[in-house]
Amino acid sequence: MTLSVFEKSIHDARPLELYEFSHGLQIFTYTSGDEVVSFQSRTYTPAALTRSAIGSSAEVSKMKLDIEVTRDNDVAKLFIRSHPGPVKLTIYRVHRGDTDVVTQWIGRVVNVEFSGLTAKITCEPIYTSIERAGLRGMFQRLCRHALYDSGCTLNAAAFRDTATITSIVESAITVVPMNRASGWYTGGYIEVGDVEKKMIRDHTNDVLTLTGMTASLKVGVTINLYAGCAHDRNACLNKFNNFDNYGGFEFIPNDMGPFKGDPIE
């Protein structure tokens, strides 16, 4: 029997939902039912969760989906210290005793709020990720390219070092070995595995101050370090030897326009 037949039936309908969260190579699977469900070689375990209604709207704020789970839920725990990076959610709908499964909702987790013994996972439909300003070049003093992007063209792997965390104090970590002078990694980032990344706000001696911490950052963990850029002529020319792709215009006249050198379209 197909799912549509069950959906129309008053007597036979026994709906349940399957929730699949993916974070890099980590997969978390739950079901709203009270029994274990096997689907696509994965086991969906019963979990205490409720969600808001699924709807459609022209306003992004009205398309959000809130899922309430227990505080110790594995997905919620990813967000305890800071945002862990992309977490995708797919919701499937099926009826007990049937094998016809349909994809009901696809999106991404944007935030988790903790309150008492519960956590609220806020998600947005996947297509909201395209709602952003179009790319455009800007006439500005500092380089307009993001480090290691297609405009910069630098290969990040060529400026990658490996180190081990020996100490953690709030958002500052001490790493060894540190074979670079202070400031080399400022504006760069660290990478834990192939998923989690954190920007480096400051590099002084063997201490890196990050924009935030994640549960994966612990003493003894090996991380990748990527050189940072000041986005000026000196860094591009002398640090990276990449001046052919420099995206800044440092010789903008000081009296050009009312913004005195700010980006001009």
Give the range among 46-60, 184-198, 217-231 with minimum mean pLDDT: 46-60
The pLDDT score that the predictor gives to residue 102 is 86
pLDDT for residue 5: 47
Q: How far apart are alpha carbons 221 and 164 in whole angstroms?
A: 6
Same domain, 80 and 162: no
**CATH number, position 58:** 2.40.10
Same domain assignment for residues 121 and 170 = no
264, part of any domain: no
Residues 94 and 37 in one domain: yes
Number of domain units in the chain: 2
Residues 23, 79: contact at Cβ < 8 Å? no
Q: Are residues 75 and 164 in the same domain?
A: no
The whole domain housing 112 covers 3-127
Domain co-membership, 170 together with 123: no
Answer yes or no: is 151 within a domain.
no
What CATH code is carried by the domain that includes residue 192? 2.40.30.20
Distance separating alpha carbons of residues 16 and 42, to the nearest angstrom: 16
User: Do 118 and 199 fall within a single domain?
Assistant: no
Q: Return the SS3 of 128.
A: helix
Residue 123 CA neighbour count, 13 Å, CB half: 30
Mean pLDDT of the chain: 84
Give the H/E segment covering residue 74: helix 74-77
Q: Which residues are within 8 A (CB) of 100 and not within 5 positions of it... i.e. 6 or more apart?
A: 1, 2, 3, 6, 94
| Digit-coded pLDDT (tens) for 105-132 | 999 999 999 998 999 999 999 877 665 6
| Range from 82-91, 190-199, 211-220, 255-264 carrying the lowest mean pLDDT | 255-264
At 80, which amino acid appears? I
In this structure, the number of other CB atoms found within 10 A of the CB of residue 97 comes to: 9
The predicted-structure confidence for 77-110, as pLDDT tens digits, reads as follows: 998 877 788 899 999 988 777 777 889 899 999 9
